[in-house]
């Protein structure tokens, strides 16, 4: 039999705790594959956020640190400044990065910190059970917007890439998606590119935003969730490169 | 050969931290400790070490978290409102057992309070202002020389026990100048290798720095392990000074700047034939409960003097355990108890025939 696909070395062979159709597992794999392709397993430090991906270290076999909700960019600053030869990345959800940690990501970018951020935008708070995130879509119902998000009450979905791309400290900002195979491949290229820039010592922060389905709290089937992401989310969160 | 130089407490502390092997400093400006941040901004790059002015104290303590995880010696400094913001981070550092030094040059509170000296953060420092069952070692200098000297054990204790060490000074100690001998103090502590540090997993298995454990019995076990560590620290690391305790009828207990008022009060009281003595805790946690309990075997009464409305007072009462009445005198909001006022209190308490009732 011909082997057409193999688990990359940096990914543990373990059953997943993620829900069916969740994007986190795919994104973990893309990061692990990129680390292996660049030969970085032994010299990378990853940051697991507070959120559904808090246990990322159970899947990605590198040195990792779990940090307080939203503070990953500050922790990454400490890590990278103290160990400039290490490759440092944070992995953060939209509640983590765009809400409670908005100050930390803004200022880490502003300072031009030389680490990489993988920002997973699923338009909702997964871990706490489906509350509104800053990135929740208008009219989207969540447990804290039971009648749908309204701009005159909860504001508009926060566009992180657009915001951070205005800062001189940002070296590379791109938004991708994992709703289908072609886009997953493209996301992989972005993740790898961002790590490569850090490896090359490029000045400034690299951030890859990944639109990612949350079928459980969007209350959709995995295939409907992928469709909704493609048809609705991308309208508000256009894919593409914003910086670099 | 070193010579005494005249510098502020904040600068002495900063220079000593550098000599104690500080590799990265993260901080956000706040009075009355800006001299530390400014000194670090100048000196750390000179030494090829890390200095970052963070966007907030929240960020500073989390930068400390990251830096500590790499195994480097790291610290931050702030004053009361900033230390309040750091409490989440201190809890996480404690949960993940990362060594770090946090300096609090206390100012008047609550809220924005003022920039005058205070000792009103004792509860926060010794009880843990963050969540969870954790402890931080708390060192309380009382002179500019000691602001410098205590930085050496501070970093060693942090590394030895993988714990947060807080150095608790106040606005007077930070701002005032005294002659200081700056040396590289050897503490002769054998420090464990930091094999838990995040240095890249090449040639070994993955290191994970974390505080989460969703499995109840496992987190309980982890807590018990932390408690065991805290008991070891209580057993081995108490530092305290006492004077004239052999025949003391009244024992004054004070730390930091208040202890300097108390020394003068005690020598003045002795001149007036009042048998007074003093105890000065250097470690506020672990608290010198045994030393105070021993003094309580002989003394008739205790007087706690603080720049607060009675915080360490609680610990003194716990240590005295009803063997003698414990009184309190103090001021807060930036005011300092005068020698005269404390001496008057001593005389009032020591009036012949007076039955001392607490407070
Ligand atoms: C200080 C603090 N506040 C709140 C929480 C509770 N909390 C845990 S995860 C989370 C939001 C997670 O959402 P997101 O970052 O979007 O990640 P996801 O779970 O969707 O992947 C919240 C509010 C916490 N752990 N700490």
Ordered by where they begin, the domains of chain A are 24-243 (3.40.50.970)
* Contacting residues of B for A77, CB less than 8 Å apart: 52, 54, 59, 63, 66
Compute the nearest-CA separation of B70 from chain A (Å): 6
**Interface predicted TM-score (ipTM) of this complex, two decimals:** 0.97
pLDDT at residue B356, as a whole number? 57
Tell me: the pLDDT tens digits for B275-287?
999 999 999 999 9
Contacts of B96 in chain A (CB under 8 A): 65-66
Topology of domain B2-236 in CATH is: Rossmann fold (3.40.50)
Residue B359 has pLDDT above 60, yes or no: no
Average pLDDT, integer, range B144-159: 97
Residue B358 has a pLDDT of 63
pLDDT exceeds cutoff 90 at B354: no
- The answer to whether B2-236 and B240-349 have equal CATH topology is yes
Beta pairing class for B250-253 and B177-181:
unpaired
Residue found under tokens 């692990």: A32
Predicted local confidence at residue B128, as pLDDT: 86
List own/partner pairs for A146-150 with CB under 8 A and 24 or more apart.
none
pLDDT tier at B104, thresholds 50, 70, 90: very high
**Tens-level pLDDT at each residue, chain A (244 residues):** 899 999 999 999 999 999 999 999 999 999 999 999 999 999 999 999 999 999 999 999 999 999 999 999 999 999 999 999 999 999 999 999 999 999 999 999 999 999 999 999 999 999 999 999 999 999 999 999 999 999 999 999 999 999 999 999 999 999 999 999 999 999 999 999 999 999 999 999 999 999 999 999 999 999 999 999 999 999 999 999 999 9
CATH class, domain B240-349, is: alpha beta
- pLDDT band at B3, cuts 50/70/90? confident
Distance A54 CA to ligand 1 centre (A): 9
DSSP-derived 3-state class of residue B78: strand
pLDDT, position B355: 59
Cα atoms found within 13 Å of the Cα of residue A243, Cβ hemisphere only? 24
pLDDT tens string B68-92: 999 999 999 999 999 999 999 999 9
Of A54, A66, A74, the CB nearest to B63: A74
Cα A202 from Cα A193, distance rounded (Å) = 11
Model confidence at B183, in pLDDT bands (50, 70, 90)? confident
CB atoms within 10 A of CB B43: 18
> Which chain A positions have a beta carbon within 8 Å of B59's beta carbon?
71, 74, 77, 103-104, 107
pTM, entire model: 0.97
CA B39, B26, B170, B255: dihedral to nearest 10 degrees? Answer: -110
Q: Which residues pair with B98 in a beta bridge?
A: none
Helix pair B151-161, B216-236: axis angle to 10 deg: 140
HEC per residue, chain A: CCCCCCCCCCECCCCCCCCCCCCHHHHHHHHHHHHHHCCCHHHEEEEECCCHHHHHHHCECCEEEECCCCCHHHHHHHHHHHCCCCEEEEEEEHHHHHHHCHHHHHHHHHCCCCCEEEEEECCCECCCCCECCCCCCCCCCECCECCCCCHHHHCCCCCHHHHHCCCCCEEEEEEEECCCHHHHHHHHHHHHHHHHHHHCCCCCEEEEEEECCCHHHHCCCHHHHHHHHHHHHHHHCCCEEEEC
Distance from CA of B177 to the nearest CA of A (A): 32
Reported as a pLDDT band with limits 50, 70 and 90, residue B352 is: confident
Mutate to test the interface with A, among B63, B72, B86, B96 (most CBs of A within 10 A): B63
B1: pLDDT strictly greater than 60:
no
* Domain ranges (residues) in chain B: 2-236, 240-349
Q: Any idea what DSSP says for residue B107?
A: B
Give the pLDDT confidence score for residue A206 in this predicted structure.
98
Task: Give dist(CA A46, CA A61) in Å, integer.
Answer: 10
Q: Is residue A33 in contact with ligand 1, taking CB distance under 6 Å?
A: no
């Amino acid at each position: 039999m011909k082997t057409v696909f193999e688990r990359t070395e940096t990914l543990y062979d373990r059953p997943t705790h993620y829900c069916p159709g969740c994007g986190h597992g795919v994104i973990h794999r893309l990061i692990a594959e990129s680390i292996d392709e660049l030969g970085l397993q032994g010299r990378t430090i990853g940051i697991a956020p507070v959120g559904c991906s808090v246990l990322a270290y159970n899947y990605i076999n590198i040195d990792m640190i779990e940090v307080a909700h939203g503070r990953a960019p500050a922790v990454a600053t400490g890590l990278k400044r103290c160990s400039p030869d290490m490759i440092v990345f944070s992995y953060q959800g939209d509640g983590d990065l765009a809400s409670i940690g908005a100050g930390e990501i803004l200022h880490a970018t502003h300072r031009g910190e030389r680490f990489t951020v993988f920002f997973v935008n699923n338009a909702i708070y997964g871990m706490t059970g489906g509350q509104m995130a800053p990135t929740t879509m208008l009219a989207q119902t969540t447990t804290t917007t039971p009648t749908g998000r309204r701009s005159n009450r909860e504001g508009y979905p926060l566009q992180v890439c657009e915001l951070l791309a205005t800062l001189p400290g940002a070296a590379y900002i791109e938004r991708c998606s994992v709703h289908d195979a072609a886009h997953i491949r493209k996301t992989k290229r972005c993740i790898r590119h961002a790590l490569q820039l850090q490896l090359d010592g490029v000045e400034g922060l690299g951030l890859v935003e990944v639109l990612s389905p949350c079928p459980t709290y969007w209350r959709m089937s995995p295939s409907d969730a992928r469709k909704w992401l493609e048809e609705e989310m991308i309208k508000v969160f256009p894919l593409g490169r914003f910086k670099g | 050969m070193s010579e005494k130089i005249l510098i502020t407490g904040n600068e002495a502390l900063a220079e000593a931290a550098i000599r104690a092997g500080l590799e990265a400093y993260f901080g956000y400006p706040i009075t009355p400790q800006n001299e530390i941040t400014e000194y670090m901004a100048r000196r750390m790059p000179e030494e090829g070490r890390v200095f970052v002015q963070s966007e907030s104290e929240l960020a500073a303590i989390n930068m400390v978290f990251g830096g500590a995880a790499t195994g480097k010696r790291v610290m931050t400094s702030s004053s009361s409102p900033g230390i309040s913001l750091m409490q989440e981070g201190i809890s996480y550092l404690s949960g993940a057992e990362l060594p770090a030094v946090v300096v609090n040059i206390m100012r008047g509170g609550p809220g924005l309070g003022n920039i005058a000296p205070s000792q009103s953060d004792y509860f926060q420092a010794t009880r843990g202002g963050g969540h969870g069952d954790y402890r931080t070692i708390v060192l309380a200098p009382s002179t500019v020389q000691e602001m410098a000297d205590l930085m050496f054990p501070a970093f060693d204790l942090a590394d030895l026990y993988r714990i947060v060490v807080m150095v608790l000074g106040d606005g007077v100690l930070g701002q005032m100048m005294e002659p200081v001998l700056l040396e590289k103090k050897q503490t002769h502590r054998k420090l464990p290798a930091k094999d838990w540090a995040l240095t890249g997993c090449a040639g070994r298995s993955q290191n994970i720095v974390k505080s989460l454990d969703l499995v109840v019995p496992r987190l309980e076990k982890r807590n018990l392990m932390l408690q065991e560590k805290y008991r070891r620290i209580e057993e081995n690391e108490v530092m305290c000074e006492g004077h004239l305790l052999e025949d003391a009828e009244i024992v004054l207990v004070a730390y930091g700047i208040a202890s300097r008022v108390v020394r003068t009060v005690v020598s003045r009281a002795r001149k007036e034939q009042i048998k007074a003595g003093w105890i000065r805790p250097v470690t506020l946690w672990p608290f010198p409960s045994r030393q105070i309990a021993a003094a309580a075997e002989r003394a008739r009464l205790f007087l706690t003097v603080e720049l607060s409305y009675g915080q360490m007072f609680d610990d003194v009462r716990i240590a005295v355990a009803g063997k003698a009445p414990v009184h309190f005198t103090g001021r807060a909001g930036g005011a300092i108890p005068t020698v005269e006022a404390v001496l008057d209190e001593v005389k009032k308490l020591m009036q012949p025939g007076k039955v001392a009732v607490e407070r």
